[in-house]
């Protein structure tokens, strides 16, 4: 038996006032498409015109609800364009806002639960705070910015902030999932429509199948751990730095323990952490020769393509007195011709390892949060339908049939038009985050990077000049592919001469 909803006139007027205030006060953000709004700076970014991309994204740094997101996009464009100090400044403001959001969420455990039911018009009416994995990557790029700009004294500070972000992100993520489970059954009972049917249709639309990563990959990315381990190793001035780097490398080895450069790093850091016997055992176990102390290394941190974007999945369905809709975002992949890269140093070469696939991470995050998004959708639809049916009933009670009909039509149009998916996401992020490392005797070597296609063939080889390897020193190559183009940087060291 279908329930009949009623709503007092005072609540009706309050709800209408709220809807009008939200729709009028948030401007085009409520009804705009982020992908369309950012198309021009995105084209500049993909074509390698990073200055234009930074300028384009920076025009909206004061956007009411999207300020954080525009800062992330502009900061990434500056980073790939090798404007590391500008990127640092943009990321720094974004970092402070993310920390403020995380602290507020963790100080008030009810804050996350309150978020479930507070969104009245659509998801775009609230400020963008970043997906969990976006928050973690923000600080990882900041640590890399400091290193690449030559300010090595600040690397450890930024690396430590990575740990803080990861720790808080994990707690928030787990709390979100807990709230989701609690609200799912309740909303099924309270919904003025078939909530289970909505849920089934959404799960069908979210058929990510075998592309899901483990839950922990959302907040604790292997690539970030490897990057932090490498940075702490590269600037280490005490054994404690090696100890911390070893902890991160063990975490990486749990997933990639069959990869030679990961094994070699694990064994070498074990020795540097004060356990030479343990290091020797690992070298023997892996069948690897110990790295001589007078050798150096070069690591390629390679990012391929761009992360998936969001598109809208929307369904319109009849209500007792009109129509309503639900709209949800769905991630879809962005085509990327490059699958990996090969680092060539002299006559040695090493292929990159995909440590984090952000397409799979995004799918996992969205899949886990689907019940939470549906719960929000149900609450929002219930209010909209209540306003629609309450207004019609009030007008009919006053014997105003034509006004009741007009109200029903207008409310139905509002319900359908106002329900729009939130398509905001950090689109300049790469598709995959990869790395590899070579150890070599001290000397000067020709340096090249080859791009590898999905079928394993070479798409092109890029000459990067000559690189100097110094005893006991470690060098970074920072590279990003966009289409088939490679944008790279080999930062200068004090021993380059």
Give the range among 55-59, 163-167, 240-244, 377-381 with minimum mean pLDDT.
377-381
The reply to whether 406 falls in a domain is: yes
Specify the pLDDT at position 178: 74
* Residue position matching structure tokens 């009909």: 405
pLDDT higher at 262 or 497: 262
Using CA atoms, how far apart are residues 207 and 396, in angstroms rounded to an integer?
44
Mean pLDDT of 453-457: 93
Specify the pLDDT at position 252: 94
How many residues does this entry show for the chain? 497
Per-state percent for the chain, helix, strand, coil, to nearest 5: 55, 20, 25
Specify the pLDDT at position 24: 45
Token digits for 344?
């060539």
CA dihedral sign of residues 282, 284, 287, 290 = positive
Contact 66, 34 (CB under 8 A): yes
Token digits for 460?
């092109």
The reply to whether 10 falls in a domain is: no
Measured from the Cβ of residue 25, the count of other Cβ atoms closer than 10 Å reads: 11
The phi, psi pair for 344, rounded to 5°, reads -115, 120
Specify the pLDDT at position 59: 94
Q: What letters, b where the CB count within 10 A reaches 16 and e where it falls short, cover 323-338?
A: bbbbbbbbbeeeebeb
The reply to whether 97 falls in a domain is: yes
Contact 301, 491 (CB under 8 A): no
Token digits for 47?
């074509």
Which residues, other chains included, contact 232 with Cβ-Cβ below 8 Å and sequence gap of 6+? 155, 156, 159, 241, 242, 244, 245, 248
Specify the pLDDT at position 34: 85
Contact 342, 452 (CB under 8 A): yes
DSSP H or E stretch at residue 446: strand 443-453
Average pLDDT score over the chain: 83
Specify the pLDDT at position 450: 98
Using CA atoms, how far apart are residues 66 and 59, in angstroms rounded to an integer?
12
- Reduced to 3 states, what is the DSSP secondary structure of residue 274? coil
Which residues, other chains included, contact 198 with Cβ-Cβ below 8 Å and sequence gap of 6+? 191, 326, 374, 377, 378
Highest mean pLDDT among 48-52, 122-126, 420-424: 48-52
Model confidence at 332: pLDDT above 70: yes
The reply to whether 2 falls in a domain is: no
Specify the pLDDT at position 201: 73
pLDDT higher at 121 or 151: 151
**pLDDT tens for each residue of 358-407:** 999 998 888 877 777 777 777 667 666 666 555 556 555 665 565 555 65
Using CA atoms, how far apart are residues 169 and 173, in angstroms rounded to an integer?
6
Using CA atoms, how far apart are residues 412 and 426, in angstroms rounded to an integer?
33
- With 0-12 / 13-18 / 19 or more C-beta atoms within 10 angstroms meaning exposed / middle / buried, residue 201 is middle
Specify the pLDDT at position 165: 87
pLDDT higher at 85 or 166: 85
- Reduced to 3 states, what is the DSSP secondary structure of residue 88? helix
DSSP H or E stretch at residue 167: helix 155-190
Specify the pLDDT at position 377: 72
Which residues, other chains included, contact 149 with Cβ-Cβ below 8 Å and sequence gap of 6+? 84, 85, 88
Specify the pLDDT at position 219: 80
Specify the pLDDT at position 130: 87
The reply to whether 127 falls in a domain is: yes
Query: What total number of domains does the chain contain?
Result: 1
Which residues constitute the domain of residue 134?
Answer: 33-213+368-424
**pLDDT tens for each residue of 80-120:** 999 999 999 999 999 999 998 888 878 765 555 555 444 55
**pLDDT tens for each residue of 421-452:** 888 999 999 999 999 999 999 999 999 999 99
Contact 472, 441 (CB under 8 A): no
Q: How confident is the model at residue 181 (pLDDT cuts 50, 70, 90)?
A: low
Sheet of 485-489, strands arranged across: 353-357, 432-441, 295-304, 474-482, 485-489
The reply to whether 43 falls in a domain is: yes
Mean pLDDT of 54-82: 94
The reply to whether 188 falls in a domain is: yes
* N-to-C CA span, the chain: 83
Specify the pLDDT at position 286: 96
Which residues, other chains included, contact 481 with Cβ-Cβ below 8 Å and sequence gap of 6+? 302, 303, 304, 305, 336, 338, 341, 451, 487
Model confidence at 63: pLDDT above 50: yes
Using CA atoms, how far apart are residues 56 and 43, in angstroms rounded to an integer?
10
**pLDDT tens for each residue of 203-249:** 677 666 556 667 677 888 999 999 999 999 999 888 888 999 999 99
Contact 337, 189 (CB under 8 A): no
Q: What is the CA radius of gyration of the chain?
A: 26
Model confidence at 5: pLDDT above 50: no
């Amino acid at each position: 038996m279908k329930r009949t909803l009623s709503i007092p006139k005072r609540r009706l007027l309050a709800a209408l006032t709220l809807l009008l205030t939200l729709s009028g006060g948030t401007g085009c953000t409520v009804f705009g498409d982020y992908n369309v709004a950012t198309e021009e700076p995105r084209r500049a970014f993909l074509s390698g015109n990073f200055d234009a991309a930074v300028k384009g994204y920076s025009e909206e740094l004061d956007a009411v609800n999207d300020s954080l997101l525009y800062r992330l996009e502009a900061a990434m464009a500056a980073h790939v364009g090798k404007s590391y100090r500008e990127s640092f400044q943009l990321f720094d403001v974004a970092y402070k806002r993310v920390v403020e959001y995380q602290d507020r969420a963790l100080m008030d455990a009810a804050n996350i639960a309150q978020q479930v039911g507070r969104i009245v018009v659509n998801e775009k009416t609230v400020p963008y705070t970043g997906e969990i994995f976006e928050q973690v990557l923000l600080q990882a790029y900041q640590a890399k910015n400091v290193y690449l700009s030559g300010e090595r004294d600040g690397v450890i500070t930024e690396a430590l902030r990575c740990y803080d972000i990861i720790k808080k992100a994990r707690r928030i993520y787990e709390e979100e999932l807990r709230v989701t489970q609690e609200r799912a059954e309740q909303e099924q009972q309270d919904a003025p429509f078939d909530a289970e049917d909505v849920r089934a249709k959404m799960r069908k639309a979210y058929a990510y199948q075998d592309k899901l990563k483990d839950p922990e990959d959302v907040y604790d990315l292997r690539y970030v751990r490897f990057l932090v381990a490498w940075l702490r190793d590269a600037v280490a001035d005490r054994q404690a730095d090696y100890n911390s780097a070893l902890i991160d490398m063990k975490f990486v080895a749990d997933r990639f323990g069959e990869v030679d450069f990961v094994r070699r790093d694990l064994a070498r850091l074990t020795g540097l952490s004060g356990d030479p016997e343990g290091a020797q055992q690992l070298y023997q176990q892996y069948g690897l020769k110990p790295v001589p102390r007078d050798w150096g290394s070069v690591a390629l941190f390679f990012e391929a393509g761009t992360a998936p974007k969001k598109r809208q999945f929307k369904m319109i369905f009849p209500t007792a007195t009109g129509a309503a809709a639900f709209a949800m975002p769905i991630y879809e992949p962005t085509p990327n011709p490059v699958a990996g890269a090969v680092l060539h140093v002299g006559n040695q070469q090493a292929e990159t390892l995909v440590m984090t696939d952000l397409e799979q991470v995004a799918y996992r995050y969205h899949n886990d949060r689907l019940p939470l998004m549906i719960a929000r959708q149900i609450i929002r639809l219930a209010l909209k339908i209540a306003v629609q049916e309450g207004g019609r009933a009030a007008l009919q009670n006053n014997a105003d049939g034509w006004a009741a009909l007009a109200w029903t039509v207008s409310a139905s149009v509002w319900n359908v038009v106002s329900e729009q998916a939130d398509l905001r996401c950090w689109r300049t992020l790469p598709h995959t985050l990869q790395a590899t490392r070579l150890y070599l005797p001290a000397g000067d070597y020709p340096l090249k990077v080859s791009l590898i296609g999905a079928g394993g063939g070479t798409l092109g080889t890029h000459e990067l000049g000559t690189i100097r390897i110094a005893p006991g020193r470690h060098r970074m190559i920072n590279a990003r592919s966009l289409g088939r183009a490679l944008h790279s940087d080999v930062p200068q060291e004090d021993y380059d001469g």
